[in-house]
Amino acid sequence: MRKLRMGLVGGGPGSFIGRIHRIAAELDGEAELVCGAFSSDAQRSREAGAAYHVDPARAYASYAQMFAAEKALPADKRMDFIAVVTPNHVHYEPARLALENGFHVVVDKPLCFSLAEARELQAAVERSGGVLAVTYTYSGYPLIKQARALVNAGRIGAVRKIYVEYPQGWLATDIEGSGQKQASWRTDPTKSGAGGAIGDIGTHAAHLAEYVSGLRITQIDAMLNTFIPGRRLDDDASMLLRFDNGASGVLVATQIAAGEENNLALRIYGESGSIEWRHADPNSLVLRSLDAPVQILRTGAAYLGEAAARNTRTPPGHPEGYLEAFANIYTAFYRGVRAHADGAKVEPRAYDFPGIADGVRGMAFIDAVIRSAQSQQKWTEFGNP
């Protein structure tokens, strides 16, 4: 039960998500950051290593150098896994090389630059037998676990309708034109891939809808927009969905909703009830029934189920949020890594963290949305990638 040793690919000076991953990974005291290839620039990587308080000798100039050097260290010193927190076009190669060198992987979403890369990475996971997690963060919230348990237990009856919306407003103007780093790469198809808003936040929304409902999207009828002149990727998406049980759905993912921050919301309607969860108030879950008063369930309460309790750290009234949800994915991933060390074949869903299949499905979602938006057909097949 020693601490697992983490390496970081990316997360250099100015990185937002690198700091988030580091905090989440270490939150429960089960892992520590020991090394990293924090930037493709050797000096910037050294600067980031100093800021992270990493041994200067283990702040590497490239991820290839890191894998070679760490693999040569004694087993009680070398890193156990990497977290890839780079722009999308630098997800596949470090993840594949890590697996081939015997290291486990956490990769930020979306999984890769393209669906083809995602499928190749899936093959690399299967060949290596390594453990890979994808940080679909919102599936880590305690009340999302509770919502999933309620739906799976039939508490709202068979699912009929799903609404999931993810409005942001930070790209409502041409901020990439001023050199804003996060906007610049996300709106660049050579770095982000084929999807703009649908890749950045639409994949979160699709994963959340499927995770909580237990259903799979089978058809999509999508419309993509780019509102900012000169922007090369979509900044707004709306679509109708069909699920494998016949349920219908609506998904909206937009980054030009002026004034919005990060207002992800999910509503699922069944034959006899419904659930509603909003990221703006993540510690509340609304449960509605045909024949009972509306209930508001709260994080940390004793009446919640086992999955919600396992992913909660504080008593009721002490809010748990984004960092804790991130940490829940890491902690579940660690259970898988420790089981792998004991010789088990790890199936991510058995440990309740998003794995390679979820990552490939996210890339297939982007591909299907784009094909639908470009097609004159009403429905575009999605199915199993």
pLDDT digits (tens, 9 = 90+) for 164-181: 999 999 999 999 999 999
Say if residues 133 and 81 touch (Cβ distance below 8 Å): no
Residues 131 and 197 in one domain: no
pLDDT tens readout for residues 114-129: 999 999 999 999 999 9
Mean pLDDT along residues 363-384: 88
- On whether both 109 and 244 belong to a single domain, the answer is no
In this structure, the answer to whether residues 214 and 116 fall within a common structural domain is no
pLDDT in tens, 78-98: 999 999 999 999 999 999 999
Claim to verify: residue 226 and residue 335 sit in the same structural domain: no
* Predicted structure pTM score: 0.96
Query: 169 in helix, strand or coil?
Result: coil
**Residue 191 near residue 340, CB atoms below 8 Å:** no
Say whether both 44 and 124 belong to one domain: yes
Total domain count, the chain:
2
Q: Which two tokens stand for residue 240?
A: 């109708």
User: What domain range includes position 231?
Assistant: 141-315+363-374
Clarify whether residues 216 and 342 are in a common domain: no
Return the CATH number at 235. 3.30.360.10
Residue 320 inside a domain? The answer is: no
User: Is there a contact between 115 and 135 (Cβ–Cβ < 8 Å)?
Assistant: no
Q: What is the total residue count of the chain?
A: 385
Give dist(CA 342, CA 131) in Å, integer: 13
Which band of pLDDT confidence, cut at 50, 70 and 90, is reported for residue 379?
confident
Looking at residue 115, which CATH number applies to its domain? Answer: 3.40.50.720
Same domain, 34 and 70: yes
* 275 three-state secondary structure: strand
- pLDDT tens, position by position, 29-61: 999 999 999 999 999 999 999 999 999 999 999
- Is residue 116 included in any domain, yes or no? yes
Choose among 228, 213, 321, 319: nearest CA to 267.
213
Q: What is the per-residue pLDDT for 227?
A: 98
Q: Give the pLDDT band (50/70/90) at residue 257.
A: very high
Domain contains 383: no
Give residue 277's pLDDT.
98
Is the pLDDT score of 378 beyond 80?
Answer: no
